[in-house]
Amino acid sequence: TQEYFSKQGLHTTANGSSVLYTELNPLEVQYHVDLWGQDSDKIRAALGKVRVARTDLAEARLRLSTEVAIHYFSLIGDILRRAQILKEQRLHAALLRLDQERLRSGLTGAKAVYLQKEACTAARQAVTDITNDIVVQQYSLAALAGHGPDWGRNIQTAPLPSLTTIAVPKDLPLRIIAHRPDIVAARWEIEVAAQEVGAARAAFYPNVNIALFAGWNSIHLGDLFSPGNLAHAVGPVISLPIFEGGALRAQLRVRNARYMTAEDHYHATILNAVRQIADRLSDWQRIRRKLSEEQEMIIAARHTTRLENAAFRTGISNKIGMLTAHIHEAQINDQDYSLQIADATSWARLNAALGNGYVFSGGRS
């Protein structure tokens, strides 16, 4: 540094002259004395933010896996439904041919033929719609898996899962949802906000550092590295926030407001989780009851079909009654597959609401 020294300064030999003053300090050390816990609060707040980010990632994975399961179950069910709708289409076509023959023979009127043509058209449209639904499910699964649309066409399907009723206890403790990612994240957000409040309070107190340096300094560049010019110093460096009171108080109010907001968000998250679980459980139980009733309808439809087949073979009834019974049975089976899809998807949503299952005294569900 080019510097002019005062005539009455400390540098006696250089007073009143302008010289090139050189300092070289290869070692400088500062240690912050965390007397008020400000650094530890900031570290804990930073670690809490990492945990919040991890739980956000877990929630995203849970949502993604839930969507994959829902679309996969829908794909399986739509494929099963398409087989029943195709069967209905073939049966309506057979009925149409039979009514056309009866019309030519004068055994029926044109109205019956027109009604069957309408039914055949509706069946063809239903086949087209369900085929489009299958393609949509394949494309959706491909997108969720991060692949192109063609990838979804090669998805191997399995039968729809046979789901049993979850053994939910009568009194559901709050701990069954404590592992939900959104609740865990909200809990860590409170922790982060609390640590930030502590750091904001500690900012009002003096800041103490221990400083150390060692190196060479001289007013002559030529003898800078002379052993006699080796200098070192160690001592405290204290800063007082004397003129920062207004800013610090404002910062503390902001941190306190964020803490209260985090608390409110945590309580709202718990209430939303409880409400969501209750809704999902109610929907699933309602669908299970419908499935039980549907099984009775399927059994009745099968018995009716057998009776109509026997009546046709013995000549008691005509072929129209037999075909109509088969159509009705196919429609009942189609309804059953729709309920099975709803059952599987509602089960997936319930598990997601429980945070990917729950833990109770009998084990994990």
Q: What is the CATH number of the domain that holds 172?
A: 1.20.1600.10
The gap between the terminal CA atoms of the chain, to the nearest Å, is 74
| Contact status, residue 77 vs residue 160, Cβ threshold 8 Å | yes
CATH of residue 221's domain is 2.20.200.10
Q: What is the pLDDT of residue 97?
A: 93
CA distance 151 to 138: 8
| Contact status, residue 63 vs residue 352, Cβ threshold 8 Å | yes
Q: What is the pLDDT of residue 361?
A: 42
Whether residues 59 and 180 fall in one domain = yes
Q: What is the pLDDT of residue 363?
A: 45
* Tally of domains within the chain: 2
Give the amino acid at 259.
Y
Whether residues 5 and 99 fall in one domain = no
Least confident of 190-204, 214-228, 234-248: 214-228
Whether residues 27 and 38 fall in one domain = no
CA distance 75 to 153: 11
CA distance 148 to 133: 18
Take residue 268 and report the two structure tokens written for it: 């709202």
Band (24; pLDDT cuts 50, 70, 90): confident
Whether residues 157 and 254 fall in one domain = yes
Whether residues 71 and 188 fall in one domain = yes
Q: What is the pLDDT of residue 177?
A: 81
Band (107; pLDDT cuts 50, 70, 90): confident
Whether residues 138 and 175 fall in one domain = yes
Take residue 31 and report the two structure tokens written for it: 């240690």
| Contact status, residue 296 vs residue 316, Cβ threshold 8 Å | no
- Report the percentage of the chain scoring pLDDT > 90: 58
Residue pointed to by tokens 């400083």: 211
Whether residues 43 and 187 fall in one domain = yes
| Contact status, residue 43 vs residue 27, Cβ threshold 8 Å | no
Residue ranges making up the domain that contains 25: 1-33+208-240
113 Cβ contact partners less than 8 Å away, ≥ 6 residues apart: 96, 99, 100, 103
Band (20; pLDDT cuts 50, 70, 90): confident
Least confident of 58-62, 66-70, 135-139, 155-159: 155-159
Whether residues 178 and 249 fall in one domain = yes
Q: Closest Cα partner for 294 from 353, 327, 334?
A: 334
E strand or H helix at 5: none
Whether residues 62 and 16 fall in one domain = no
Q: Which of 240, 260, 294 is the last residue of a domain?
A: 240
Whether residues 187 and 214 fall in one domain = no
Q: Which of 189, 216, 240 is the last residue of a domain?
A: 240
- Looking at residues 206-216, what average pLDDT do you find? 89
Q: Strand pairing of 207-218 and 18-20?
A: unpaired
Whether residues 296 and 167 fall in one domain = yes
Q: Which of 240, 264, 291 is the last residue of a domain?
A: 240
Q: DSSP states of 102-137 as a string?
A: HHHTTSS-HHHHHHHHHHHHHHHHHHHHHHHHHHHH
Q: What is the pLDDT of residue 358?
A: 52
124: exposed, middle or buried (C-beta count within 10 Å: 0-12, 13-18, 19+)?
A: middle
Q: Closest Cα partner for 210 from 24, 29, 27?
A: 29
The residue with greater pLDDT, 170 or 295, is 295
Question: Does 142 score more than 50 pLDDT?
Answer: yes
Whether residues 8 and 116 fall in one domain = no
- Looking at residues 29-57, what average pLDDT do you find? 92
Band (256; pLDDT cuts 50, 70, 90): very high
For 58-96, what is each residue's pLDDT tens digit? 999 999 999 999 999 999 999 999 999 999 999 999 999
Least confident of 138-152, 220-234, 264-278, 318-332: 220-234
